[in-house]
Amino acid sequence: MDRAPSTRPARARLSSVANSIRLLTSFSGEENELGITTLATRLRLAKSTVHRLAATLTSAGFLEQNTENGKYRLGVALFELGALVRRRMDVANEARPKLRELLEKTGETVQLGIVDHDSVLYVYEMESRHAIRMAAAVGARAPLHATAVAKPSRKARYPAGRSGLVEFALRTDPDSDWDFGRFSNSDR
């Protein structure tokens, strides 16, 4: 899920850093290894530029190169940085007892997500023991309108009414068969 673009003026950004960030965010769960040609095409940069960026990111541990096929994948340095962020997220530690209580009370998977722009970033999960259960990978994103996290956050994000959520949902899925009328005033 893409994050909202920066509101900073373009002149305040360093293009090589911006291109490195774009390169790193090109990877996904479905495409965890990418070659220079694919990256150059996606980024609309010369292959030589992408190669230099990849070499720099590899030397810092942000990328790794698969020796068998020459493709690149995200490196362990990103995991280390992510772990630092996770450690400072006291909300997951503080919420753990309440999440456990909710899991025991409902028997269903319990997830903790943080609203980030118009998406939810899952930061913690306790899985149900049922064979069929909801699962969202920690670190994954989902559109806000398509998650249960949207219901309690609706009041905070759209205090004037549901129109912002409805308009966002319709923009992202114009063929949606959601019954937006089911959101009563008590849901907001």
Q: What pLDDT does residue 67 have?
A: 94
Q: What pLDDT does residue 107 have?
A: 86
- pLDDT, tens digit, 9 for 90 and up, residues 3-17: 555 555 556 667 999
Q: Are residues 105 and 177 in the same domain?
A: yes
Model pTM score: 0.55
Q: How many domains does the chain have?
A: 2
CATH number at residue 61: 1.10.10.10
Q: What pLDDT does residue 27 have?
A: 92
Q: What pLDDT does residue 178 have?
A: 46
Q: What pLDDT does residue 146 have?
A: 76
Q: Which stretches in the chain have pLDDT values below 50?
A: 1, 161-175, 178-188
Q: Are residues 130 and 167 in the same domain?
A: yes
Give domain status of residue 84, yes or no.
Answer: no
Q: What does 61-76 look like in DSSP terms, one character per residue?
A: TSEEE-TTT--EEE-H
Range of the domain at 46: 10-75
Give domain status of residue 80, yes or no.
Answer: no
Under 8 Å between Cβ of 139 and 74: no
Q: Are residues 130 and 62 in the same domain?
A: no
Rounded Cα gap, residues 45 and 7, in angstroms: 23
- pLDDT, tens digit, 9 for 90 and up, residues 112-140: 888 877 888 888 888 887 777 677 677 78
Phi, psi of 8 (to 5 degrees): -70, 145
